């Protein structure tokens, strides 16, 4: 009889995959357990386990005092949360979508963002406003706006915008521990997406520092700067362009305010080209701010071509799928912008 085939070599231990939804759930669970001043409130967060199941299991574990279902009144429950933060608690205030934060923007900006400054630092407001931001799928204009530029505009707020599960967990934990009001702009279409999550990121001590960007891919020909879901599109575009000999450096901003412009400058000095990518509108957008900051600094002297912005279309989001696709930056749009910048 023939000799038996040798067993296949043992694969290296696979890095576990965790969805963005579960990463956020982990972060909330760990911070609720760590600090009894932390509580979560919002529509359907408790008995229904959250509209997107981010708070799954937390009401059963922590009860009515820590996980609080609210009426459909953003202005009301945001005001309660801001007042609680001023009184020494650490609320996490969930908006079912950031479009509804417009109902409470007076509380977010005039009450939360400005109070620490106007009280000469004597009243900190340690609160996190979080929920899905930007376009989802088939939800039309009133549910598709990106608020990164709006909230990034306001002194007194910190604004974070995660892409991967590691971003989501680390930034949420850092935001809850921060003594300033933090706006955390998640993406609904990423909630169910699994990402590799290192052993370090699984630990209860893991935080992602606010204000630091991450280089997701090293490159030498062009810098792509993005945040939230478009980071994935940039990586896809970079993979396609690599086959044509173009090496893109992809920067995941992670934080909108304070912005890590040093990381972008260092990359531009290396690649001599800049393309910004975002799902929001072009006028006064995140990309516009990055371009202005690069132009004002020393890295401008290293640019070999004008910086290019890839943005959402300058229209309220249409409902029809084919129009929606044309309003959101796609991989092909990023590739086109890179080739235009490099003149190839």
Q: One of 30, 31, 74, 265 is an active-site residue; which one? A: 74
| Cβ contacts of 340 within 8 Å, gap of 6 or more | 308
CA dist., res. 172 & res. 160, Å (int): 9
Residues 148 and 185: their CA atoms lie apart, in Å, by: 7
Task: Tell me the sheet residues that pair with 276.
Answer: 225, 309
Q: Which two tokens stand for residue 301?
A: 């002297």
How many CA atoms lie less than 13 Å away from 66 in the CB half-sphere?
18
Concerning whether 74 is annotated as a catalytic residue, the answer is yes
Choosing from 143, 221, 233, 273, the catalytic residue is 143
Within 181-221, strands assigned E span 182-186, 194-196, 214-217
Question: What distance in Å separates the CA atoms of residue 126 and residue 71, rounded to the nearest whole number?
Answer: 23
Asked if 285 contacts 149 with a C-beta cutoff of 8 angstroms, the reply is: yes
Is 221 among the residues known to form the active site?
no
Per DSSP, helices labelled H in 185-229 are 199-202
Residue 23 has a CB neighbour count (10 Å cut-off) of 27
Active site residues: 74, 143
């Amino acid at each position: 009889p023939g000799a038996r085939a040798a067993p296949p070599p043992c694969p290296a231990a696979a890095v576990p995959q965790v969805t963005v939804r579960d990463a956020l759930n982990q972060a909330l669970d760990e911070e609720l357990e760590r600090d009894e001043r932390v509580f979560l409130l919002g529509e359907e967060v408790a008995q229904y386990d959250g509209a997107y199941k981010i708070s799954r299991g937390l009401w059963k574990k922590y009860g009515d005092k820590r996980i609080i279902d609210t009426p459909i009144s953003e202005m009301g429950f945001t005001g309660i949360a801001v007042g609680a933060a001023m009184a020494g608690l650490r609320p996490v205030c969930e908006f079912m979508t950031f479009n509804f934060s417009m109902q409470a923007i007076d509380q977010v900006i005039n009450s939360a963002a400005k109070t620490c400054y106007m009280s000469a630092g004597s009243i900190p407001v340690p609160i996190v406003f979080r929920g899905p931001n930007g376009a989802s799928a088939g939800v039309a204009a009133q549910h598709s706006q990106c608020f990164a530029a709006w909230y990034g505009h306001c002194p007194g707020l910190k604004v974070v915008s995660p892409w991967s599960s590691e971003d989501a967990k680390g930034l949420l934990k850092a935001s809850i521990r921060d003594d300033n009001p933090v706006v955390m702009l998640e993406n609904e279409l990423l909630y169910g997406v699994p990402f590799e999550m290192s052993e370090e990121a699984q630990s209860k001590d893991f935080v992602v520092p606010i204000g630091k960007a991450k280089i997701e891919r090293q490159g030498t020909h062009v810098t792509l700067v993005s945040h939230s879901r478009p980071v994935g599109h940039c990586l896809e575009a970079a993979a396609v362009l690599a086959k044509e000999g173009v090496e893109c450096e992809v920067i995941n901003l992670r934080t909108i305010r304070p912005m890590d412009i040093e990381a972008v400058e260092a990359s531009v000095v290396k690649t001599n080209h800049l393309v910004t990518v975002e799902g929001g509108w072009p006028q006064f957008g995140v990309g516009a701010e990055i371009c202005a900051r690069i132009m004002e600094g020393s890295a401008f002297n290293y640019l070999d071509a004008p910086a290019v912005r890839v943005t959402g279309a300058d229209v309220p989001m249409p409902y029809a799928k084919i129009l929606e696709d044309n309003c959101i930056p796609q991989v092909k749009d990023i590739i086109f912008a890179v080739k235009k910048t490099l003149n190839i």
